[in-house]
Chain A
Amino acid sequence: MPAHDVLIIGAGLAGQRAALAAAEAGASVAIMSKVHPVRSHSVAAAGGINAAISIDDDWTSHAYDTVKGSDFLGDQDAIEIMCSEAPEEVLHLEHIGVTFHRNEAGLLDLRAFGGASMKRTAYVADITGQAILHVLYEQLMKHHETVDRYEEWFTTSLILDDDGSCAGCVARDVRTGAMEVFSAKNVILASGGAGQCYRPTTNALICTADGIAQAYDVGAPLMDMEMIQYHPTTLAENGFLITEGARGEGAHLLNSEGERFMEKYAPNKMELASRDVVSRSEQTEINEGRGVGEDGGGIYLDITVVPKKRVLEALREIVNIGRDFAGTDITREPIVIRPGQHYIMGGVKTDIDGRTPIPGLYAAGEVACVSVHGGNRLGANSLLDTLIFGRRSGEHAAARSAGVPMPSAPETRLHEDVARIDAIIAREKSGRRTSEIKDELGTTMNRLVAVYRDENGLREAHEIVRRLKEEAGTAYIDDGGTVFNQDVLGAIELGYLLDAAEATVVAAIERKESRGAQFRTDFPERDDDEWLKHIDISRNGGDAPSVSHSPVTITRWQPEERKY
């Protein structure tokens, strides 16, 4: 049985950063991922990473922007840590090889981004996530002697020992179908978000809430799950992401009357207001009949106002996406976009060192909720979140392993999971196909738990999710094999998605106000007296989620009206 001081599940930016930090601190480390690490969804992060690195900038300004962006739901102690440690982290990345673009003086160039009071986004063209992810993987290859890699291993369960500490996990080698127990003094969940609860979404097919559901399953609370970010610019056609970098470089949003409508909603920041504000403005334009495109459900993003040379060197990826997926040459004509599901601010509740309330269980990155994003994440803060809290989790877990004996993870869960998978494979073909259920979940969430929400819609969504959970219990698959049985893994992922979706819906029903990404048409105002608090969702042993509240940490910025 493999045994490590620190076992990291997920190999995107948070996971790889955690692995490198833990190894550097001297711990024995393994990193496990259901896909090859460079396929992780961090690869899709385009625009850049925020850090108050310019000599004219100050991390407190970055922190204030983040607090304001979060609609004052973010925990300010965590935000202070993230923003104050950001410059050092970005310089570290630069030193290990990330090819950040430079300015005329040969220093890191910075671009403008939404909700930021000055230019503070370092970038590599519009492939920043890819560049950082690939460079971290270079470092994992370099440190292959101190970090064991389990590539294409799918985690099926977390294991707790008798006194309730995390002792490892059960995982399946996707390539052979072999199931194994991994013992670990500490487990760091870094397995990403839950975008596949929605259809369409900018998120990859692998973003199926695995870590969220696994932590929830062993009793860790989830927080801020109602906060779902709709990105203002996703391709109307299929939901692919068009980076905020486009607006950062100066692109305009136009309605069917050719009007830069953001003047009405955010006269100062215009297109670079925070994402919740821009998405809501777009949706209002669409709902009031000023949308564009075939069904009037889109908005024009006009990138032709950006100099062509600049587009070619700094927005290359969206030139490709426009050409290949929308048939549009963005250097010549506007492209039709609309708000689309992009990110979950919520996740497994952690402290500033990535610790969950379960001893030995950590979480970092989109799977986690520290909470630095609160009600709305600023663009280019997610890469930062993954790296800062990935590193902090890795360091803390490595330090903790010094004082803990190596557990011998019990094999009960292994036998249960083997039986569970056998049972899925053996199901009679009488129920629904798993793919149908996933489709219905996605379209339901996108219809009822989106930019604008109300009680009736949320209740309907909850009923549908409950029904889908039952149907998933008998849903059948086709593949009975062991080698690369993606079908059976899909059935397990569907269960993860349904858990996360239910937590989201329940939290959205609970929050009877409008804040950040949650806009309730039946409660259109922010209500600090009643709702300046987090909503925690946990399982508490039963199947139905139970709801509780926890306070927001405020250090120096009192809530105020939010204007852009």
Chain B
Amino acid sequence: MAEFTLRLRRFDPESGDAPYWDEHKVDLEPHRSVLEGILQARARFDGSIAIRCSCRAAICGSCGVRINGQPALACHTHLDKALRGARDGVIEVEPMGNMPVIKDLIVDMDAVHWKKIRRVTPWLIAKQPVPEREYVVAHENMVDVTQSMACIQCGACVSDCLSMEVDPDFIGPAALAKAYRFVGDPRDAEQLERLQDLAEDPAGIFDCTHCFKCIDACPKGVAPMSQIMRLRRRATGDHHIVDRNNGARHESAFVSLIRDHGILWEAELLPRSHGGDSFFGKFAPAAGAELVDSLPVIAKMLLRRKATPMKILRPHNLPAADLKQIKRIYTTVEGREERFELNLYISGYDEEESEDTATAAVAADGGGQTAAESGQPGQSPEGSPTR
């Protein structure tokens, strides 16, 4: 047994008082969970502490909270690990972010999380005719969508989604992972329509900024951002959807810039995002319009000496030898007959395997995208702040 101090964020909507901190000391084995700590405090000292919880085993998804500022399931975080992440020897537990607080650690999931889930037409639109027996589907397809089926709707990813913080309309990581569960399911009849819908929505798949927060937050290895990237690859690579938000062109501009220069060149990114790779792309009217829009930002940047005109306009280039390496990656990846889609359910977390798969993922995704989107096989669970 060891003693741990929990500092809980409390809020009683009926009191008229502001939220406050409430500390309790609990006695438990160090590898018991933060949830067990909270339940002990509730049983021994204060029955009014409110937290949703049910299974205690990271399956039901009820107890999403923030522990020392990081989103996690309370039942899935050991007390000793939580203590290591604490600033002042006290484990701090708060309600999740991006959702309104109802009482203490309970947030309004319906107002945000479930509303977004409902946005993605969250049910199978079965291919017709429905067979008499089962649909014949490749084993790999079902294992593939199992990763997004493994989502327990806990809201941890929604809690810390940076894009959603800026744009509350963003459909968000959990709902888009749910969308992949249908887009990746060969039995669904409307994969193209789903992709078009999610690509054309200004708050859709191109609203994600690749920040990886949701991958860190997810207690079930769903890697929502990876599912979002898969949606993008299906939309742009397989179905050649060019969306009105310019998401597809913007992404392909990244890819071509890295191929040409080995490093991002922001001044060229804007025209390429609108006009494509050719020199004349610079004269695309939309590029001009956005340039004019951006003038105040550019002016500020220059005034504050964040950049000089020379630095902005001169092409950014890696040394030739490095650039050659980059091009080799492109040749390898683009020469593949099939896209690599690594999946946690296949690759696992194992250390020996993770090296291979991480390398493969980098190779598969090229410079414009990232290793982790293939199911974060390279990331050991120990490295995740929530574990």
In the complex, the chain A residue whose C-beta lies closest to that of B53 is A205
Per-residue interface assignment for chain A, residues 155 to 194, with 1 indicating a CB less than 8 Å from any chain B CB and 0 otherwise: 0000000000000000000010000000000000000000
In the complex, the chain A residue whose C-beta lies closest to that of B133 is A91
Q: Is there contact, CB below 8 Å, between A433 and B43?
A: yes
Q: Is there contact, CB below 8 Å, between B142 and A96?
A: no
Q: Which of B55, B143, B348, B381 contacts A101 (CB 8 A)?
A: B143
Q: Is there contact, CB below 8 Å, between A320 and B58?
A: yes
Q: Is there contact, CB below 8 Å, between A483 and B13?
A: yes
Pull 9 A–B residue pairs with CB atoms less than 8 Å apart, ordered by A.
Answer: A39-B61, A44-B57, A101-B146, A141-B118, A205-B56, A309-B346, A316-B345, A478-B46, A480-B48
Distance of B149 from chain A, by nearest CB (Å): 5
Q: Which of B43, B123, B152 contacts A139 (CB 8 A)?
A: B123
Rounded to whole angstroms, the CA-CA distance of A39 and B154 in the bound complex is 9
Q: Which of A91, A317, A434, A487 contacts B59 (CB 8 A)?
A: A317
Rounded to whole angstroms, the CA-CA distance of A2 and B140 in the bound complex is 47
Q: Is there contact, CB below 8 Å, between B58 and A481?
A: no
B126 close to chain A: CB less than 8 A: yes
Q: Is there contact, CB below 8 Å, between B48 and A479?
A: yes
CB neighbours (8 Å) of A44 from chain B are 55, 57, 59-60
**Interface members, chain A 199-250 (any B CB < 8 Å):** 204-206, 238, 240-241
Q: Is there contact, CB below 8 Å, between B134 and A312?
A: no
Chain B interface residue number, banded: 35 or more
CB neighbours (8 Å) of A142 from chain B are 123
B387 close to chain A: CB less than 8 A: yes
B307 close to chain A: CB less than 8 A: no
Q: Is there contact, CB below 8 Å, between A325 and B57?
A: yes
**Interface members, chain B 26-79 (any A CB < 8 Å):** 31-32, 42-44, 46-48, 50, 52-62, 76, 78
In the complex, the chain B residue whose C-beta lies closest to that of A485 is B48
The stretch from B103-111, B237-245, B322-330, B364-372 touching chain A is B103-111
Q: Is there contact, CB below 8 Å, between A125 and B55?
A: no
Rounded to whole angstroms, the CA-CA distance of A331 and B350 in the bound complex is 10
Q: Which of A205, A241, A482 contacts B14 (CB 8 A)?
A: A482
Q: Which of A99, A130, A325, A433 contacts B185 (CB 8 A)?
A: A99
Q: Is there contact, CB below 8 Å, between B60 and A435?
A: no
A306 close to chain B: CB less than 8 A: no
A31 close to chain B: CB less than 8 A: no
Which of A97, A308, A435, A477 is the most central at the interface, judged by chain B CB atoms within 10 Å of its CB? A97
Known: A94-B134, A151-B110, A206-B54. A101 touches B126 (CB 8 A): no
Rounded to whole angstroms, the CA-CA distance of A273 and B118 in the bound complex is 44
Distance of A29 from chain B, by nearest CB (Å): 17
CB neighbours (8 Å) of B220 from chain A are 320
Distance of A80 from chain B, by nearest CB (Å): 22
Chain A residues at the B interface, C-beta cutoff of 8 Å: 35-36, 38-41, 43-44, 91, 94-97, 99-109, 124-125, 127, 130-131, 134-135, 138-139, 141-142, 151, 175, 204-206, 238, 240-241, 308-309, 312-313, 316-317, 319-321, 323-325, 327, 331, 433-436, 439, 477-487, 490
Q: Which of B104, B136, B146 contacts A107 (CB 8 A)?
A: B136
Q: Is there contact, CB below 8 Å, between B126 and A95?
A: yes
Distance of A426 from chain B, by nearest CB (Å): 15
Distance of B352 from chain A, by nearest CB (Å): 11
Q: Is there contact, CB below 8 Å, between B47 and A106?
A: no
Q: Is there contact, CB below 8 Å, between A204 and B61?
A: no
**Interface members, chain B 345-378 (any A CB < 8 Å):** 345-348, 350
Q: Is there contact, CB below 8 Å, between A240 and B57?
A: yes
Q: Is there contact, CB below 8 Å, between B149 and A138?
A: no
Q: Which of A103, A130, A240, A308 contacts B152 (CB 8 A)?
A: A130
CB neighbours (8 Å) of A206 from chain B are 54
Distance of B102 from chain A, by nearest CB (Å): 6
Q: Which of A106, A205, A485 contacts B54 (CB 8 A)?
A: A205
CB neighbours (8 Å) of A104 from chain B are 139
CB neighbours (8 Å) of B46 from chain A are 478
Q: Is there contact, CB below 8 Å, between A127 and B149?
A: yes
Q: Which of A109, A124, A125, A486 contacts B50 (CB 8 A)?
A: A486
Rounded to whole angstroms, the CA-CA distance of A135 and B50 in the bound complex is 29
Which 10 residue pairs of A and B lie closest in terms of their CB atoms, listed nearest first?
Answer: A97-B124, A479-B48, A435-B43, A478-B47, A487-B47, A106-B136, A138-B123, A312-B348, A204-B54, A142-B123
Q: Is there contact, CB below 8 Å, between B143 and A313?
A: yes
B21 close to chain A: CB less than 8 A: no
Per-residue interface assignment for chain B, residues 131 to 157, with 1 indicating a CB less than 8 Å from any chain A CB and 0 otherwise: 001111111011101100110110000
Q: Is there contact, CB below 8 Å, between B56 and A141?
A: no
Q: Is there contact, CB below 8 Å, between A481 and B12?
A: yes
Known: A97-B123, A313-B345, A490-B47. A134 touches B149 (CB 8 A): yes
B130 close to chain A: CB less than 8 A: yes
Distance of A487 from chain B, by nearest CB (Å): 4
B250 close to chain A: CB less than 8 A: no
Rounded to whole angstroms, the CA-CA distance of A335 and B32 in the bound complex is 17
Rounded to whole angstroms, the CA-CA distance of A135 and B381 in the bound complex is 28
CB neighbours (8 Å) of B42 from chain A are 435
B122 close to chain A: CB less than 8 A: yes
Distance of A542 from chain B, by nearest CB (Å): 31
Which of A41, A91, A313 is the most central at the interface, judged by chain B CB atoms within 10 Å of its CB? A313
Q: Is there contact, CB below 8 Å, between B60 and A138?
A: no
Distance of A50 from chain B, by nearest CB (Å): 16
Q: Is there contact, CB below 8 Å, between A102 and B13?
A: no
CB neighbours (8 Å) of A139 from chain B are 123
CB neighbours (8 Å) of A482 from chain B are 14
Rounded to whole angstroms, the CA-CA distance of A425 and B345 in the bound complex is 49
Distance of B92 from chain A, by nearest CB (Å): 21
In the complex, the chain B residue whose C-beta lies closest to that of A138 is B123
Rounded to whole angstroms, the CA-CA distance of A94 and B135 in the bound complex is 8
CB neighbours (8 Å) of A490 from chain B are 47
Q: Is there contact, CB below 8 Å, between B134 and A108?
A: yes
In the complex, the chain B residue whose C-beta lies closest to that of A142 is B123
Q: Is there contact, CB below 8 Å, between A483 and B14?
A: yes
CB neighbours (8 Å) of A312 from chain B are 345-348, 350
B187 close to chain A: CB less than 8 A: yes
Distance of B305 from chain A, by nearest CB (Å): 49
Rounded to whole angstroms, the CA-CA distance of A480 and B46 in the bound complex is 11
CB neighbours (8 Å) of B58 from chain A are 320-321, 324
In the complex, the chain A residue whose C-beta lies closest to that of B139 is A102
Q: Is there contact, CB below 8 Å, between B50 and A484?
A: yes
Q: Is there contact, CB below 8 Å, between B103 and A484?
A: yes
Q: Is there contact, CB below 8 Å, between A99 and B145?
A: yes
Distance of A441 from chain B, by nearest CB (Å): 14
CB neighbours (8 Å) of B78 from chain A are 324
Distance of B14 from chain A, by nearest CB (Å): 5
Known: A138-B123, A483-B102. A43 touches B142 (CB 8 A): no
Q: Which of B55, B126, B153 contacts A96 (CB 8 A)?
A: B126
Q: Is there contact, CB below 8 Å, between A483 and B103?
A: yes
Distance of B113 from chain A, by nearest CB (Å): 10
Q: Is there contact, CB below 8 Å, between B106 and A484?
A: yes
Distance of A250 from chain B, by nearest CB (Å): 18
In the complex, the chain A residue whose C-beta lies closest to that of B76 is A324
Distance of A179 from chain B, by nearest CB (Å): 16
Rounded to whole angstroms, the CA-CA distance of A100 and B138 in the bound complex is 11
Q: Is there contact, CB below 8 Å, between B55 and A124?
A: no
Rounded to whole angstroms, the CA-CA distance of A304 and B37 in the bound complex is 33
CB neighbours (8 Å) of A99 from chain B are 142, 145-146, 149, 181, 185
